[in-house]
Structure 1
Amino acid sequence: MTAEAAGTRSDSSDHGGNEARTRRGGRWIEHWEPEDEGFWRDTGERVARRNLVFSVLSEHIGFSIWSMWSVMVLFMGPQYGIDPAGKFFLVAMPTLVGAVLRVPYTFAVALFGGRNWTVISAAMLLVPTAAAAAVMEPGTSYTTFMLVALLAGVGGGNFASSMTNINSFFPLRKKGFALGLNAGGGNIGVPVIQLLGLLVIGTAGAGHPRVVLAVYVPLIVLAAALSARFMDNLAPVTNDTGAARDAVKEPHTWVMSLLYIGTFGSFIGYSFAFGLVLQIQFARTPLQAASLTFIGPLLGSLIRPVGGRLADRFGGARITLGNFAAMGLATGVVIYASAARSLPVFLVGFIALFVLSGLGNGSTYKMIPGIFQGQALRRGLVGEAAEAHGRRLSGAAMGLIGAVGALGGLGINLAFRQSFAATGSGTPAFVSFLACYVVCAAVTWAVYLRPAARARRTAPAATVAAADGERRPVYAEV
């Protein structure tokens, strides 16, 4: 069913409060109530799923472009004159820009419309792709490489706008799986470009990095065209600067930012650094490194929707806590293997970290709307008022949380850079990552999973009445 058939899309006959919207063109949906089960069954679900499909496609390509320098550095042999520390820094630059851009990209959805901004942000990916194709050759200065790598950060911004857009399409009970699928499908862009790099190195050789970039130009054009043809804008989604200010002031925004550093920051940081670690610490050739690099990001991407589904069923906080505990164990395995220079054991531990980071990505993002919905209940709101409060603050918070979480990827690459420069090994970096996971696990338990008595002592209103009459911490259900 199309939005036109449902009678929800604006046209030239709209008047009053919708006039400003209709002047901006078609494909605007004026009425959207996903929490209404009748609306969701008759109209909403089909429209939301269609938008989800093309959102995933655009975000997928965005992640590929964001992570392309993790592949480009594998083509950079001695003739490029860049040492390992310089390569880690080069890989880190898109992470920094992508993290910063996630904040304005979040608000671009309401300013331009989710469909319109998807088209614009997809088309912008042509700039870093073309620029990289122009400079990828020996003799190019390191400064030029740095500037071009910075451009690739636009691909990282796509995640925030895509997640904010899809968050508005789905009801709370479906958000965990929908957001997990949207993010997981986007995350797969990392291993896909790494697989393409492996194919090019294995066939054309390490002297042909431009082949990788040439493949993406028509894909970018296709993603923009399909988004323009099949996606929709939601008129009820408007920028609310008050919501942004409220989200910044809300302690849970910063708590979730820390947890997202531990999950998504790990995923994107490890994805960008994996190939370099294999080359430097285990003396793998570019082809050998490329043949292994894609495995972890692929598995971590595929399992992200599972994390969202488990969070829908058991609660995001419970899954997140168990996940951080498992990440700590996997990091212990990696520390042992790194110190012992055991590649097989290292691969087992490192790939486990990818899988667990992907699982945690899904569970943490599910927590965000649940937390703000829980806040509405604490304040005595019910029904649509509670739902509106949850959507308002969770939408504003997602961009900030995604931005801070992505900075974790920058921290991982800088930690590797310093670790290898100082000791020639990644072991000290992994020890610092282990400490981070311990802190994240402790914070998850302390803020969201403490017993009811402790929760009441610190936040007396943070309880809701359960169906069986028992009072329990509302945040235990996020």
Structure 2
Amino acid sequence: MSTPAADDAHSRRRVHRSGRWIDEWNPEDAGFWQSRGRSIARRNLFWSVIAEHFGFSVWVMWSILVVKMGANSHGGPGPAGFSLTTDQQLWLVAVPSGVGAFLRLPYTFAVPTFGGRNWTIFSALLLVVPCGLMMWAVRHPELSFGSLLVIAAVAGVGGGNFASSMTNISFFFPEREKGWALGLNAAGGNLGVAVIQKLGATMIAAGTGAALGRIGLIYIPLAIIAAVGALLFMDNLSEARADYGATASAAKRGHTWVMSFLYIGTFGSFIGYSTAFPALLKNPALFDRADVALSYGFVGAFVGSLARPFGGWLGDRIGGARVTVAAFAAMTLGGLGAVASIGPKGKILDHPNFGLFFASFMLLFLASGIGNGSTYRMIPAIFARRGRELGGDETTMRRARKEAAGALGICSAVGAFGGFLVPIIYAQSNKAYRTIAPALWTYIGLFILMAVVTWWFYLRRGGLEAAGEPAPAPARELVTTTG
């Protein structure tokens, strides 16, 4: 049976490997950080953001494609030759989200197994596959809906990039700067949603199958550029070694699963609303305005992306749990506003209420973006707190960082399923009731529950305060039971 000391000695053992490997890395040492650590970390962060940004764009590219693939107002083929219903459009944007969620856990393990730089190169090049398949599919409107679902599912590989990127960057930065670094890294990726929805809308304005394929013509060379940048300028960290035991330990911590649940509400809401919003704007039961969807569908994702690093920054200063509760409260208000803008039959009552609907969704995007940053900031803080309680020596804190990296992967995978659930709930609500109001009420109830859960575990007296400050009373570590 290995001991922590033996594990630490093994992790420090120098091995000869090809590629750019750094064997000694201690960002908590102020001297090391000032002399060389910061510049190396920022260089890796920059190319991580680039690669993750393109990954997000490919992941959600179907959210803008389906706007032109829907049926016309008479139910016949649209300008691109497809005649998808609103429910089918929502399924096409949901399935890549679900696949991306499944891939996030193996992508997390890929960083310590193959190296952060090496995996960034591979995962960036992999984006060429869904782009190529999409370019072929949009030229064949005779394809069955099932075939389109399979092809769209391949775009899920872009969703896995987030987990590997965040896991990799979490090793580079000291605890005091993790919130901002992870928030910036995530925001750069999240912006890929807004960029593809705006850039894609411009490129497919003509509406033909050939025009839809232009998205692939743009992102295939961009993916190659990201891979080359990672090859030339990124590094692998020996400290980020494969440690399945640390991830297994993280999986036994109740806090890992509490945070996974909360992350469904923040990131899951962001990616789910981002992919569904253009389709909702075009929905005949609401606006039936493809022009509005193409012109303004990107704004929500843009707002949420810019808000994410601000959520991490606030979490660093006033506590991730406080920011998260406020974010869920604001999301509740946004949901109520959206419900208020919808009439009894699910139609917007008059033009002024379009403003209320749009403003309510902007609040949802803003709050979910802030919540993304604050919840993700809470995770390393929770494990750092545990490391200090267990002694706070270098070996213990390194083990805590590895557990935190494993927890980040688990939480990002579970949270991403929200991106699958949100469009599906919309689709089922629209199909059963011809209105999205029941779906909105479901989200409102979940936001309230998640705010209560955050307060119970991390803010009430006796709870573990996730800001990293001493809790008011000794916190009892939550451990899930197995077997």
Taking structure 2 as the reference length, the TM-score comes to 0.89
Partners of 1:465 and 1:236 lie apart in 2 by 26
CA spacing shift, 1:221–1:346, aligned 2, 3 Å: same
Corresponding residue for residue 362 of structure 2: 351
CA spacing shift, 1:442–1:164, aligned 2, 3 Å: same
Pair 1:404-2:404 in alignment: no
Corresponding residue for residue 47 of structure 1: 40
Give the AA of the match of 1:189: G
Partners of 1:147 and 1:331 lie apart in 2 by 32
Partners of 1:108 and 1:404 lie apart in 2 by 17
Q: Name the stretch that deviates more: 274-283 or 171-180.
A: 274-283
Offset of residue 322 of structure 1: 1.0
Corresponding residue for residue 6 of structure 2: none
1:57 and 1:223 in contact (8 A); partners too: yes
Corresponding residue for residue 315 of structure 2: 311
Offset of residue 415 of structure 1: 0.3
1:123 and 1:224 in contact (8 A); partners too: yes
Between the two proteins, what is the percent identity of the paired residues?
A: 46
Give the AA of the match of 1:308: G
Offset of residue 205 of structure 1: 3.8
Secondary structure of the residue that 2:27 maps to in structure 1? coil
Higher helix proportion? 1
CA spacing shift, 1:463–1:404, aligned 2, 3 Å: closer
Corresponding residue for residue 136 of structure 1: 138
Structure 2, unaligned stretches of length 5 or more? 1-11, 72-76, 477-483
CA spacing shift, 1:275–1:388, aligned 2, 3 Å: same
Offset of residue 383 of structure 1: 3.7
Offset of residue 245 of structure 1: 1.3
CA spacing shift, 1:356–1:117, aligned 2, 3 Å: same
Pair 1:392-2:413 in alignment: no
Q: How does 1:361-400 map to 2 (within 5 A)?
A: 361-379=372-390, 381-400=391-410
Corresponding residue for residue 439 of structure 2: 429
Give the AA of the match of 2:386: Q
Pair 1:118-2:98 in alignment: no
Secondary structure of the residue that 1:338 maps to in structure 2? coil
Give the AA of the match of 2:40: V
Match of 1:264 among 262, 267, 270: 267
Query: CA-to-partner distance for each residue in 1:90-138, whole Å, 9 max, x for gaps?
Result: 1111011100000000010011100000000000000000000011132
Offset of residue 474 of structure 1: 6.4
Query: CA-to-partner distance for each residue in 1:152-171, whole Å, 9 max, x for gaps?
Result: 00000000000000000001
Pair 1:413-2:416 in alignment: no
Offset of residue 144 of structure 1: 1.4
Offset of residue 451 of structure 1: 1.5
Structure 1, unaligned stretches of length 5 or more? 1-15
Pair 1:25-2:18 in alignment: yes
2:388 and 2:397 in contact (8 A); partners too: no
Partners of 1:425 and 1:30 lie apart in 2 by 57
Query: CA-to-partner distance for each residue in 1:246-279, whole Å, 9 max, x for gaps?
Result: 1111100000001000000000000110011111
Give the AA of the match of 2:266: T
Q: How does 1:70-469 map to 2 (within 5 A)?
A: 70-78=63-71, 79=77, 80-137=82-139, 138-202=141-205, 204-207=206-209, 208-280=211-283, 281-339=285-343, 341=348, 342-379=353-390, 381-452=391-462, 455=463
1:108 and 1:161 in contact (8 A); partners too: yes
Give the AA of the match of 1:391: R
Secondary structure of the residue that 1:31 maps to in structure 2? coil
Secondary structure of the residue that 1:182 maps to in structure 2? helix
CA spacing shift, 1:140–1:45, aligned 2, 3 Å: same
Taking structure 1 as the reference length, the TM-score comes to 0.90
Partners of 2:152 and 2:276 lie apart in 1 by 15
Aligned pairs, number: 446
Give the AA of the match of 2:103: L
Partners of 2:459 and 2:469 lie apart in 1 by 17
1:321 and 1:445 in contact (8 A); partners too: yes
Give the AA of the match of 1:131: L
Partners of 1:106 and 1:144 lie apart in 2 by 29
Offset of residue 201 of structure 1: 3.7
1:465 and 1:472 in contact (8 A); partners too: no
Give the AA of the match of 1:132: M
CA spacing shift, 1:56–1:429, aligned 2, 3 Å: same
Q: Name the stretch that deviates more: 100-109 or 189-198.
A: 189-198
Corresponding residue for residue 61 of structure 1: 54
2:308 and 2:372 in contact (8 A); partners too: yes
Give the AA of the match of 1:372: F
Secondary structure of the residue that 1:18 maps to in structure 2? coil
2:51 and 2:120 in contact (8 A); partners too: yes
Query: CA-to-partner distance for each residue in 1:2-47, whole Å, 9 max, x for gaps?
Result: xxxxxxxxxxxxxx9323xx2x313100110001111001010000
2:204 and 2:214 in contact (8 A); partners too: no
Query: CA-to-partner distance for each residue in 1:205-243, whole Å, 9 max, x for gaps?
Result: 455201122111111111111111100000111111111
1:462 and 1:474 in contact (8 A); partners too: no
Offset of residue 53 of structure 1: 0.2
Offset of residue 450 of structure 1: 0.6
2:91 and 2:427 in contact (8 A); partners too: yes
